[in-house]
């Protein structure tokens, strides 16, 4: 039987987070390679899967392999979906940690990503604070750091790595890698803990091989 999940992935894209969490979960999956420079994510067959023409996209054949047309897009939604489907990397519903988890699962997309975009593509004038729904990137990073410190680290919920770390940590890892900010001691320790995870090491090896294949195509 074919693997349950199909991940549409391109190297050096947001799809890396989902590649990483699939490795964390030990989930059965296959990787469908895309090359952004060739526009494969805009091809008609992929647009039938994700009309936005963006990666990542995850297809789910179901636990018995008999589902068809089940697609999840948007990194935060995919992470939440996989955590529920596999019953891993999330605090149980009805526990106090679920509240913190829910906040930071959403925080990456709702606050950190638009704030990072403001850093990368600075406006000529700062908008009035009342007109946007996210904090500055520095303030967003500071909130993540406060949570790590309060939990005792190394992750947002202390010793337990969750999908919230994949989202927030994955974005901070990306931003730091592109020199968008210089991590302070707390964030540096957080990112180091993520880099040391065996699933991260495996995902990076897959990503590097995919990048080489893309460059050769």
> Which domain CATH number covers 187?
1.20.1050.10
Q: Say yes or no: 123 and 183 in one domain.
A: yes
Q: Say yes or no: 164 and 209 in one domain.
A: no
Which structural domain range is residue 208 located in? 5-89+199-216
Q: Say yes or no: 40 and 109 in one domain.
A: no
pLDDT at 130 over 90: no
pLDDT tens digit sequence for 4-30: 999 999 999 999 999 999 999 999 999
pLDDT tens digit sequence for 74-125: 999 999 999 999 999 999 999 999 999 999 999 999 999 999 999 999 888 8
Q: Say yes or no: 15 and 46 in one domain.
A: yes
Residue 131: per-residue pLDDT: 87
Residues in the chain: 217
Q: Say yes or no: 72 and 155 in one domain.
A: no
Query: 80 CB contacts (<8 Å, ≥6 apart)?
Result: 90, 105, 163
Which run of H or of E encompasses 59?
strand 57-60
pLDDT at 129 over 80: no
Q: Say yes or no: 162 and 207 in one domain.
A: no
Q: How many C-beta atoms surround the C-beta of residue 207 within 10 A?
A: 19
Residue 2: per-residue pLDDT: 95
* pTM: predicted TM-score of the whole model, two decimal places: 0.96
Tell me how many domains the chain contains: 2
């Amino acid at each position: 039987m074919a693997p349950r999940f199909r991940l549409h992935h391109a190297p050096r894209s947001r799809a890396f987070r989902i590649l990483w969490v699939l490795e964390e979960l030990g989930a059965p999956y296959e990787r469908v390679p895309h090359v952004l420079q060739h526009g494969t994510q805009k091809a008609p067959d992929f647009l039938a899967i994700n009309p936005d023409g963006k990666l990542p996209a995850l297809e789910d054949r179901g636990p018995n392999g008999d589902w068809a047309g089940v697609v999840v897009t948007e990194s935060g939604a995919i992470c939440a979906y996989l955590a529920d489907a596999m019953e891993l990397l999330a605090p149980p519903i009805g526990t106090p940690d679920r509240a913190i988890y829910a906040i930071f699962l959403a925080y990456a997309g709702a606050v950190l990503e638009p704030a990072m975009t403001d850093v990368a593509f600075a406006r000529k004038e700062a908008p009035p604070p009342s007109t946007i729904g996210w904090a500055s990137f520095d303030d967003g990073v500071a909130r993540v750091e406060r949570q790590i410190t309060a939990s005792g680290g190394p992750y947002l919920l202390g010793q337990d790595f969750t999908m919230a770390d994949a989202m927030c940590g994955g974005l901070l890892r990306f931003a730091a890698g592109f020199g968008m900010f210089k991590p302070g001691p707390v964030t540096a320790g957080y990112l180091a803990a993520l880099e040391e995870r065996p699933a991260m090491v495996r995902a990076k090896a897959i990503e590097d091989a995919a990048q080489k294949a893309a460059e050769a195509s």
